[in-house]
Each structure stands twice: as C-alpha cells, then as structure tokens.
Amino acid sequence: MLLRQIQLLAALYWTPVKAASRIIDEGRLWFAVVAAGLALVWMRAVTRLGVVYIADPTLVIKVLAALAFGFVPGVVLVVTIWRSHESFGVMLRKDFSPLLTCVLMSFAAVYLPFAALSTLAWALPASTWFQPLLGFGALVWFVALAACCTRTLWGTGYLVAAGSVAAGFGAAIGALIASMVLGRFMYYLASPCLLYYAWIFLGSDVRSLGGGLRSRQHFRRQLDIAASNPKDADAQYQLGLVYQERRQYDEARKRYLRAIEIDNHEADPFFQLGKIALEEGQAEEAIGFLSSAATLDDKCCSHEVWRELGRAYSKASRLEEACDALAKYVDRRPYDPEGLYYQGEALLASGCAAEAKQAFSDCKAAVDSMPAGRRRQVARWGRMASSALRAAS
C-alpha cells in the first residue's frame, strides 16, 4: 500500500492529469497528510538554518489546516457557483476528501523537492536571489497541479479551474491571517470540554466529509470487478463515463469501443463517442457515431442524439441536414434552450433569418420560463440567444 501511494505521488511529475485521476481512485488521505506534513517540517528546518526563521512551532499544523479548511472549501465554492445545480453543502460533503487528498499530494510533490533544493541553495553564493526565484517557481507549479486536480475531479474548463484555485488561495491566506490575529485564543478551542461538545454536535458532519473519497473508490473498485467480466458491456460503458467526466477522452474512447465490441446493439456508447468527437472538433467522425446511435435507438439519451447530430452536421457545413435533425429534436423537446439555440444558428447560417430569429426568441423565452434553479444552469443559452438576436437585427 505504501509503495503504491509513493508511485501515485511520483506520477504527478510526468503525467499530472492521469495521476490526479488515479489519486481520486486509489489515493489515501493519511498518506497525503503525512507527505505534505513532511514537506512543511523540512521547509521549516531549512528556514531555521537560513537567515529567516519563523518561531512558531504550530506553523505546520496551521498551514495544513489552512489548506483543508480554507483552500479546499474556497475551490468547492467556485465550482458550486459554476455548476449551479448543487448546493455548497452537498458538494463539500461529497468532494471534500477527494479534493483534499489531491491537493495535499500535489503540495507534497512540489514542496518536497523544493525543500531539498532549498537546503542546497543556502550553500550557494547567490542564495539571496535564488531562494525567492525557487519559491515563486514552486508556487506556480503547485497552482498548475491544483488546477489539474480541479479539472479532473469535476471536468471543468481550465479557466474555471484556475479561478477556483485562485479563490482557494485567497481563502487559505485568510485562514492563516485569522489564526495569527486570534493568536493564543486558538488554544482555548483545544479545551477537552469544547472538543467533546463539538464532536457531539458536529461529529456526523465531520465524518461525512471523509465519505466522499471512500464512496468514490468503492464504486470504482466495483466497476473494475465488473469490467473483468469479458461479456459485461455496461461496466465498460460506465467506466467510459467516469473518464469522460474527467476529460480523459482517450481512456473513455477505449472503454466505449470495448463496450461496442461486446455488444454493438446498444446506442449509448456510440452517442458518447460522437460527443467526444465533437469536443475534439472531428465533425465527420461524430456524424458517423451519432448516426449509428440514432439508427439503433431513435430516442437515445432523451432524444439528445438528434441535437448532437444537428451540431455535428452544422460543424461539417451540412446545413440542410443540420436543420432537419435539429427540427426533429425541437419538435420532441420544444423547451430545451440548448436545442433551440443550435437550431437558430443552423437556420441563420442557411439564410433563413426570420426562422432563426424565432428560434432565438423561443430559446430566450424557454430560459425565462424555467424555475430559478434550472434557469441558472441554462442562463448562458439565453444570453447567447439575446446576443444573436441583437446581431441579427
């Protein structure tokens, strides 16, 4: 087990995205805490030997606490705002421990070599300028690894991942400042009576924070066991969904193709392969997969196969076929803003300006008529439809 955790830590140096995925599936929080704590202890020893020394014996605990209770909730908060369909409390309970494990492993991967290089740097004549440069490089590296972990865990874009990491840093710095301002008052929180009552009232919530990692890893183990059956296509499909959510499209594609080899009468793997091809800009390849899915199941994924097929035809400049596919989708799901927006784009490109304006107007009306929670999820289609209407006027 220990050797496996060391291998996961080392993998962050050459394949950070795949390593983050493996840490979610196989990482252990206790190892991440020990590795990050070792890096902090080593750095503190180096600063004591050098010119700068912060005489705070609890600094290691404070930094770890700032990462756990400042950085991680800050990242989760931004991702919650981005996803908009889950509450912060639900997201925190579900994803706190997976993200914390990834963040601490990333911290250890960056600052263990940083501590080693800093030890050597004190012997160099140019240590006064080399040390700050080394520290800045380590910070940038940690930010990059944390963003990779965020993107892998939730499938966000790079911009959202970078913004969430920035918010996490702000929260972590705020937590450290608060601990310094409160000073010795923090020691009163260690009173046995306070700890006892805190455990009575908050114990279940604290325990639930660690459940996310265990449940994810248990689910993954069960999928791997099922996938060992050479005739179980659904297990391969479910593993493909896991990799696709993490934007590991090569791995997802392998699983979907394996599911098709086992059972080529199921439409869902063809549909997901088409979506991956669309994400990668392969319109003709996407048309092939999506057409196969539509042939196998005309109602595949709640009719969304026709929406994605319309998108693929539009990207391939096959506008007449795009309009037909999107018209079929809108006829079946007339209140989906995404489908209406794509229909408006296809009609506008085909020269049907009046019909396109109507589609954009219907898209905006569909967004405005939705409940508040759902409206937040689809608001961008309404904004894009409004922009298209202004541009077409």
Q: What's the rounded mean pLDDT across residues 108-124?
A: 81
Q: How far is CA 135 from CA 117, 132, 141, 210, in A?
A: 10, 5, 10, 32
Q: What's the rounded mean pLDDT across residues 64-84?
A: 91
Best mean pLDDT range from 121-130, 142-151, 214-223: 142-151
Q: How far is CA 189 from CA 57, 99, 200, 203, 345, in A?
A: 17, 26, 15, 16, 59
Please determine, for residue 294, whether its predicted confidence score (pLDDT) is greater than 90. Answer: yes
Q: Using CA atoms, how far apart are residues 81 and 161, in angstroms rounded to an integer? A: 12
Confidence band (pLDDT; 50, 70, 90) for 124? low
Please determine, for residue 34, whether its predicted confidence score (pLDDT) is greater than 60. Answer: yes
Instruction: Please say whether the beta carbons of 343 and 360 come within 8 A.
Output: no
Tokens 């000073």 sit on residue = 183
Q: What is the mean pLDDT of the chain?
A: 88
What was the pLDDT predicted at 119?
75
Q: Using CA atoms, how far apart are residues 130 and 255, in angstroms rounded to an integer? A: 47
What was the pLDDT predicted at 188?
59
CA dihedral sign, ordered 303, 309, 315, 319: negative
DSSP for 197-234, please give it: HHHHHHHHHHHHHTHHHHHHHHHHHHHHHHHTSTT-HH
CB within 8 Å of 210: residues ≥ 6 apart:
29, 96, 97
Q: Using CA atoms, how far apart are residues 77 and 163, in angstroms rounded to an integer? A: 11
Please determine, for residue 129, whether its predicted confidence score (pLDDT) is greater than 70. Answer: no
Report pTM.
0.86
Please determine, for residue 376, whether its predicted confidence score (pLDDT) is greater than 90. Answer: no
